Structures are given as structure tokens and as C-alpha cells.
Structure 1
Amino acid sequence: MYRLRPAKPSDAELLADVTLAATRAQGRLAPDFDELAWRNGFVEWTLESIADPATDLYVVEVGDRPAGRLRVSRTPDAVELNGIQLHPDIQNHGIGTAILNALQDEATRRGVPLQLRVERDNPNARRLYDRLGFTRTAEADTEDVLQWTKGVEQNRLWNAEVAEKYDTPGTGMFAPEVIEPTVDRLAELAAGGRALEFAIGTGRVGIPLSKRIPVSGIELSTAMIDQLRTKDETIPVVVGDMASAQAPGEFSLVYLVFNTISNLLTQEEQVACFRNAARHLSPGGRFVIELWVPELRRLPPGIPATVGVAEPGYILLDTYDVLNQHVVSHHFHFGEGTEAQLGRTPHRYIWPAELDLMAQIAGFTRESRHADWSGDRSPPNHPPT
């Protein structure tokens, strides 16, 4: 879609043209704007930026055409987007989103936040940053300071220790009676086309499915990807957020398994995930979601928690925030002594009817709902697909 090349002093006038065109198209030039004075100052500042070793200034090229400007600072503590302007002719084609996704991927790999500032009179940019999961952390004059930390948070939650213990070959969710029907059904729905798994993790489903059809993945946890690579080095995986990251090409099937969509903790992110699936699908393609039905009927009045599992060595306790549809699963692992290990995983649960509405917003039509991967249409006491 685009290419970045380091800016040269001879690009200063070009970058001024792009920045001016983008700002004018947004209607953000003051009535008394002095173009000549602004241009002279901008060119001088651009030349200083090119010479500054702490800043990377790029020309964004689309095809053979220079069409944008990107300025990034990198420190041990953060990746900072200092500015991005795209010529109006190439706006609204996903290029800005793709550039931001690439910076999110970089921040995720480095384990640092992605930071930026946005002027308050630029609502279009603010909507994009909100959609990509940025949150406001401070105000500065006419700007809001935004930060994206999801990559850091997910790598803390799904770290190397968790990734190494995630696989349980032959048992639990890795048991053949779980994997085989899942892979059979997904291969059937793909109809010989390519499949994309959102949150591919360690490849529990993606690896066996790749023996049948071409599979790609998107995954935010680099530790989970590292664990996948110990088993398979061929599946293409994009490091990124399944609500926004883009994998190359088109697919006949996009799928999410084992409640993964609930890892997106807001309704906005979950709707964005549906829209992202739609962007990846070829006409007639399918989006498949495996998700549990919320079991709020088990929640006693006035008591915000349920015991999901109680067995030797393990207790699962779920605590609910019904207003926000949040549940935190508390996993207690213990042996014969008095000490126990606690792990927590947050989720946002979704009702089946809410899934249907999210699908409609993204342009999907529900094809079917099943109680399990075998195609049982009985009331879904198990995760529907």
C-alpha cells in the first residue's frame, strides 16, 4: 500500500506541500494564514529534523508518488509519533491506519507504549486514534496527549511463562476430540480458500488447519508467537491487535476460537474486530466466532462471583461487573502445601443477540448458530459458532 523512505534535504519543499494540502483540506487554516511565512519556517524546521539524530523523518510514497510525511521519535521508554500528514488524494484508503498499525507492532515488539499528540480541532484524526485503542493521558495547550499501551499489557498478561505452559498436548482444549471437529468444520467453511485466524496464539487450531488449507494469523502477544514458532515456522503471522491489524491479501474465512473475542474489553473494540474481519474477506467470505454464552443465571442475587471449577489443584472463580459486561477469571493453582498461584484474565462477555447486531453493523448477515463444532443446532449450552 505504501513505502517509507528517509527524508532528504531536497524533500523539504515537498513535505511542506503535503502538510499544507492536508491541513487545508481539513479546513484548519486560520483566516489570516500567511503561507509564505509558514512555508519558510516549516522548511527550516524540516531541515533541522532531518539533521536531528533523535528523530526519524520519512516520506510516504504510494506507488511512485511521494504523498505523505511521517515523523517518529524512538527512546528506550516509548515510540512517539510526532506527526503524520497524507495528501488528501490518498486519504481514506487505509494508509494512515496501516502506518499506525506498523508503529503499534514496533511498540509491541519493544514492550513500550506508542505515544502521540493530536490537536483538538482535528476530530477526524481523533476518531481514528480512538478506534485504534489510544487513550488520553494528558492535555497540552491545544492538544491532547494520547497513548497506546495494549501491546505492553497483552505481553504482560500473555508472557513467556504463560506461553510455555499454554499448550497441553492431547488433553483439555488440545484433545483430539476438541481439535478435530474444529479443524474439520473450519476447513469446510473455507471451501478451499485461505483462512485468517485472529489471535492465533500458539497455533492450537491454526497449525493443524494449515495442513488442510493455507492459514495466516494475527497475534498481539510476541511470547505466544515465539511458542508457535517452536512448532511451525511457515504460517505467516502479523504482530498486532485483531481489532485493527491487517494481514496481506484476501481470505475466504476469518475465524476466532475459544472465546478470544472477549479479550477485547470494550464494545467499540469488538465492533472494530467485526469490521476488521470484513476488510479481510473476499465477497461471500465467512467470519466464524466461538464464544461461550454468559451464565449469569448462576450468579446469586447480590453476590458478584461464581465458582466455575473446583477440583484437586485448581479453582476457577469468576467475578462479574454486570453493568459493563466484564468478568475476571481468577485461576488458583495449588499443591499439597498452603501456597497457591493466582492468575487473572479479564474478559467482556457478549450476548448472542449482541453478536448479531455487531455483525450487522459490519455488513455481515448471520448464516447459522450452533451449539458445537459438529453442527448441532440445539440450544447452545456450549460455545456457539
Structure 2
Amino acid sequence: MTTASYRIRPAGPDDAAFLADVTLTATRAQGRLPADFDEADWRGGFEEWSLESIDDPATDLNVIELDGRPVGRLRISRTPGSVELNGIQLHPDAQNRGIGTAIITELQSEAATRGVPLELHVERDNPNARRLYDRLGFTKTGEDGAEDVMQWTQLWNAAVAKRYDTPGTGMFAPEVLGPTVDRLAELADGGRALEFAIGTGRVAVPLSERGVPVSGIELSNAMIAELRTKVDETAIPVVVGDMSIVRAPGEFSLVYLVFNTISNLLTQEQQVECFRNAARHLSPGGRFVIELWVPELRRLPPGTPATVGVAEPGYILLDTYDVLNQHVVSHHFHFGEGTQAELGRTPHRYIWPAELDLMAQLAGFTLESRHADWTGSPFTADSPSHISVYRLSTT
């Protein structure tokens, strides 16, 4: 199929009536208008909302044009942590010409360049849109009323998942993984364990082999596919979705989140919800364990927004900081003997230990212990990371 030539331009006040028209026409063509739909009332409210969106600096409301005539509506929001597709509607005459796919692909490219996810909501009674998003690689991460929340990210795609495991070295080294599994097995205390962001099973598989029943939540289907090369669904069941929202069946004595992964949630609100979701899964007195790095702002030279985290043959890690929003983007440079390098980016929101403790309190936890590593070394002002164990109330 050849993609039609289209143009996107900013919407103005004179476009408010058209934006309502095209949204109404597209929805009516799909047979999705309720029987008691009040068109006049809806149109008045929608046009007013469109005018507000035009004036909103945080939102880009656009008109899609084809051959010089308006045929669609596109609304996008951009935040430090994501690109959000708030809505795309095309007149039926402009559909099935590749325009929607091309626009979303451009947004995916933008999100990948920034190193952030592309997010959207889709109504459950809109199967055509859902099929498009599924085809373009979006994953359902939660629900919001009558809508599914979906996300696309290049951070944990198939290529990343394939090279994620480094058996015997790095975070897979026995001296790293052994104490991790030992401590988690102790904290599970004979009960079931749930891993948020289970990934390829770096921790879950050896913990399961120790006799601890383990389940998982994971956003990336590619990472789950790698996990499935090691164990099947009966051994370690996994629910696909956002660890701050999605529920796994059953009750657990331990929920754990390792290797700085809570910082992959890019807002304070999402991080608090992660604690609350852990609490929802735990039995009274259960534990939530977090492994997290301590922000390295003391290493940040005045006036310089970046630090070098790792510099070794074939790999350089450069972290750039946005101290206003507590965001850091890790830039991973992989290179060989030649002049070419491969760049990958991972965005994070860093959290101070005291802030983490307050998040825990908001979810009903108290801090039980904090150590510098999995072997129980004392946590000090110079510790680069910590293992924090939070306990849920028994009442």
C-alpha cells in the first residue's frame, strides 16, 4: 500500500468546528455512538475543549491535511518522560491509505530518539484502532475506565532482550547474583514471591530453583520471550503490563524490584503507585524489597550536566541530569575497533532514600532495614546504592 501524501499543521480557533466534525464522523462510521447520544451538547463541549487545547502550551492540537483539504485531527502531549498520543481521528474517506500508520511511526521515531516511551489510550469498543496499535508493537499496560492504556518503547525490544543476559559476568556474575538470591529466599520466608519487571529471569529463575514459588510482571514481550527459553509459564507465570498498575493472581509474602528498575518509572506519581501496587499483592506483614542507586549529584561539576559512569574498552556510560525534574538519561555507547559506535538511551527518575521512605509510608509500609548491598554491608553516606526492605503492617 502506498502512503498518501499528507501534511500536519497546528490547529487554530477557526478549526474547532472541523475538529468536532471529523471526530464525530469517524466515530459514527465505526458504529460507536451510543443510542442516547446528544450531538448538540457533545459538539458544544468538544469545541470548547478544542479551543482550550489550542491555548494549552503542553498540548499540540493539529489538523491533518490531504491534498490541501482537512481530513483529520491529531492531538499530542510531550513531557520529559514520554510522548503521548492523545487522539488521532481521520475522516472515513482518508482511512486505509497509510496515513495513521505513518503518523504513529513518526511519533515512534521521535520517542526512540528521545529515549522515552510513546503512550496512548484506546477505547475497548474500537477494535480497528486496537488492531493497528497491536500491529505497531504497542503493549497494554493498564486500564483507565472504558479505555486500555498502551505503550510502545524501544528500550526493551527484541535486540536488547537478545543481548541482555551476560552469563557469568556483570550483574550475572556469581558473586553478584548469589547473595541476591540468598537474601531474597530468606526474606520470602517460605512464601510466594513476585518480581516486578521480571525481565529475562536473571533473579527469578535461580530463586525459583531454590524452591521459592515465583511469579512476575513485565512490560516487554521481548524480555518475556527470552525468559521462556529458560522456563515455561507453569514454572514462572508472568503477567504482561505496567508494574505500577497490573495485578498478578494470588497473594505473596515478598515483592521485589531489583537493579534500579523503579527509576524506570518517570514520575513521582508512578513510583508511589508502584509501592501501592506492591502493597495490594502482599499478605499482612509482607515485604517489599528495592535495590536502587543513590543519586550521584555530588559528582556533578558546577555548570556541567553530565557524569561519566563507566569508561572501559568497548563501552562508555554517560549520564545527563535534569536536576529540576529529578531526571537522568543514561547514554550507552558500545563500540569496537572501528570508528562506528552504537548508542542506546535509558531515561530514569532518580529517588533519594528519604523520598523512597516517604513513598513507602504513603502505601502503608515502614522501613525494616537498609544495607549497602545484598550481603548486608552497612549503608553509609558514601554508599553508591542500597537494598531497602519495607514491611507492610500486619493489621
Q: TM-score, normalised by structure 1?
A: 0.64
CA distances 1:196-229 after superposition (whole Å, capped 9, x unpaired): 0000000000000011210000000000000000
- Compared CA separation, residues 114 and 166, structure 1 to 2 (3 A): closer
Equivalence for 1:185: 183
Which of 111, 120, 131 is the matching residue for 2:137? Answer: 111
Equivalence for 1:218: 217
- Give the deviation of 1:341 after TM superposition: 0.5
Identical amino acids, percent of aligned pairs: 74
Structure 2 CA distance for aligned equivalents of residues 377 and 309 of structure 1: 24
Q: How many residues are aligned here?
A: 263
Which residues in structure 2 correspond to 1:1-385 (within 5 Å)? 72-75=125-128, 77-78=129-130, 111-112=137-138, 129=144, 148-150=149-151, 152-153=152-153, 156-212=154-210, 213-233=212-232, 234-379=235-380, 381-385=383-387
SS in 1 for 2:369: coil
* Aligned residues: CA RMSD: 2.6
- Compared CA separation, residues 210 and 112, structure 1 to 2 (3 A): same
Structure 2 CA distance for aligned equivalents of residues 113 and 257 of structure 1: 22
The answer to whether the Cα contact below 8 Å between 2:266 and 2:327 also exists between their aligned partners in 1 is yes
- Compared CA separation, residues 110 and 337, structure 1 to 2 (3 A): closer
Residue type at the aligned position of 1:228? L
The answer to whether the Cα contact below 8 Å between 1:113 and 1:147 also exists between their aligned partners in 2 is no
CA distances 1:135-168 after superposition (whole Å, capped 9, x unpaired): xxxxxxxxxx988442x12xx2100000000000
The answer to whether the Cα contact below 8 Å between 2:293 and 2:384 also exists between their aligned partners in 1 is yes
Structure 2 residue runs without a partner (length 5+):
1-33, 36-122, 388-395
Structure 1 CA distance for aligned equivalents of residues 170 and 378 of structure 2: 24
- Give the deviation of 1:293 after TM superposition: 0.3
Q: TM-score, normalised by structure 2?
A: 0.63
SS in 2 for 1:290: strand
- Give the deviation of 1:383 after TM superposition: 2.1
The answer to whether the Cα contact below 8 Å between 2:141 and 2:219 also exists between their aligned partners in 1 is no
Residue type at the aligned position of 1:384? H
The answer to whether the Cα contact below 8 Å between 2:218 and 2:243 also exists between their aligned partners in 1 is yes
- Compared CA separation, residues 260 and 115, structure 1 to 2 (3 A): closer
Equivalence for 1:140: none
Structure 1 residue runs without a partner (length 5+):
1-14, 17-69, 81-106, 117-127, 133-144
CA distances 1:75-113 after superposition (whole Å, capped 9, x unpaired): 2x4369xxxxxxxxxxxxxxxxxxxxxxxxxx6797237
Residue type at the aligned position of 2:126? S
- Give the deviation of 1:378 after TM superposition: 3.4
Structure 2 CA distance for aligned equivalents of residues 206 and 267 of structure 1: 27
CA distances 1:30-75 after superposition (whole Å, capped 9, x unpaired): xxxxxxxxxxxxxxxxxxxxxxxxxxxxxxxxxxxxxxxx952212
- Compared CA separation, residues 274 and 208, structure 1 to 2 (3 A): same
Q: If each structure's strand is expressed as a fraction of its own residues, which one has the higher value?
A: 2
